[in-house]
Amino acid sequence: MMKYKILGSSGLRVSEICLGTMTFGLEWGTGADYQESRNIFFHYLEKGGNFFDTANRYTEGTSERWLGEFVKESGRREELVIATKYSLFTEPNKFNDGGNHRKNLIQSLEKSLKRLQMDYVDILYLHAWDFSTPVEEVMRSLEYLVQSGKILHIAFSDTPAWVVAQAQTIAEFRGYSKLCALQLEYSLITRDIEREYFKMCEQMNLPILAWAPLAGGALTGKYLKPDSNEPKRLKPESKRLNSKAIQITQKVVEVAQKMNITPAQVALRWVMQKKNNLVIPIIGARTVQQLQQSLKVLHIELTEDVTQELDEVSKIDLGFPIEFLASDNVVNLLWNGLQYKM
C-alpha cells in the first residue's frame, strides 16, 4: 500500500505518489472521459492516495470541475490534499487574465474554488514565473490569501532557483508563509534541475514534485517501436526523442526486461529513490489500467547497481560553478590535502 510523507515544513501528510489530473477531460485530445476519470480517481483513493494536482488551465477548467465533483462524492475532503495553480490564462485576449500579479491571483483563485466546489485549497502553486511581477508583491499577495483562509499553503512551479531562494528568504524575514514545495520537470531524460535546485531544496526543506517523470511517455519505450499502435503525442523533433534520450530509454527497457517489470515502473522508481526521497512523482493516466501499472512501482526497489547504471547513462554536465568547485585541483586548494567530498 501507499506510504506517506510530511510535505516539507507544512506538516501535511501526503502520499508518496501524487495523482495529476491534467488527463481529466477530453478538451485537449489526450485525456479521459468523465466515467474513466472517475474510475481513476477512486482507484487511486482505494490504493491509499490522498494527493491531487490540478490547475485552472487544465483541460479548459474541466479538470478542476470533475476533481471537485469526485472529491465531493467521496465524502473525504478532510483527508485529501488538493493542489491547484494560478498564472496561466483561462480566457484568451483579456489583458489581466494571466500572470503572477495580485489581480490575476485573486480572480483565478475565486474561479478555481467555484469549479472545485470548495471553500479553500490545501496548496496553491504559482504556475510559472512571469518575470514582471516583483517577488515581494507575489509573496505579500499569497500571504493575504493564506490569512483569508482560502489557501492553506503556497508553492511555486516552473520558477528559477534564484527567485525561489529570494521568495523563501523574504517569507522568513517578514513572517509570511513559506513555500512548502516546488513543482519542476524531472526524469531520466531531463535532469537539468540537479544543477541548482537539489542543493537548494535540501537546505530549505523543499520537496520536489516531479512533472513528466516518464518524459511525456518517451521512457515507456513505445517510441522505440515505430509500428506500435499505442497513442503517441511527442513530435519527432522533441528533445525527449533525440539520440541521447533514445540511449537512455534503451537502457531503461533493458533494465525492465531483466527485472521483469515495465520501463515506466523503472523510470518512476528511479525518480522516487532520487536524493534521499526528496522527489515525489506526479503521475497521470488516461485509463485505470495505466494507473494500475504505475502504482505497482510501490512494490519495486532498484538496487544500487541498477541505480548507478541509470545514473551513468543519463548523466549531465553540472556546469560552472559546480564542476569547477568539485575539481581535484580546487578541492585541494580549498582543503589543503584533507579528504572532502561535495
Q: Would you give the DSSP letter of residue 176?
A: P
Question: What is the distance between the alpha carbons of residues 170 and 175, in angstroms, rounded to a whole number?
Answer: 8
Note whether 213 and 252 are within 8 A (CB): no
Q: Which three cell numbers stand for residue 104?
A: 490575476
For residue 228, what is the enclosing H or E element? none
For residue 162, what is the enclosing H or E element? helix 161-174
Q: Which three cell numbers stand for residue 211?
A: 512533472
What is the chain's Cα-based Rg? 21
For residue 256, what is the enclosing H or E element? helix 243-259
User: Rounded to 5 degrees, what are φ and ψ at 23?
Assistant: -90, 0
Residue among 4, 34, 44, 58 flagged as catalytic: 58
Largest separation between any pair of C-alpha atoms in the chain: 65
Task: Mark 172-209 as b/e (b = at least 16 C-beta within 10 Å).
Answer: eeeebbbbbbbbbbbbbbbbebebbbbebbeebbbbbb
Question: What is the distance between the alpha carbons of residues 188 and 284, in angstroms, rounded to a whole number?
Answer: 17
DSSP string for residues in 42-63 = HHHHHTT--EEE--TTGGGGHH
Note whether 19 and 44 are within 8 A (CB): yes
Strands 13-15 and 4-6: antiparallel
Helix (H/G/I), strand (E/B), else coil: 299: helix
Is 58 a known active-site residue?
yes
- Catalytically annotated residues: 58
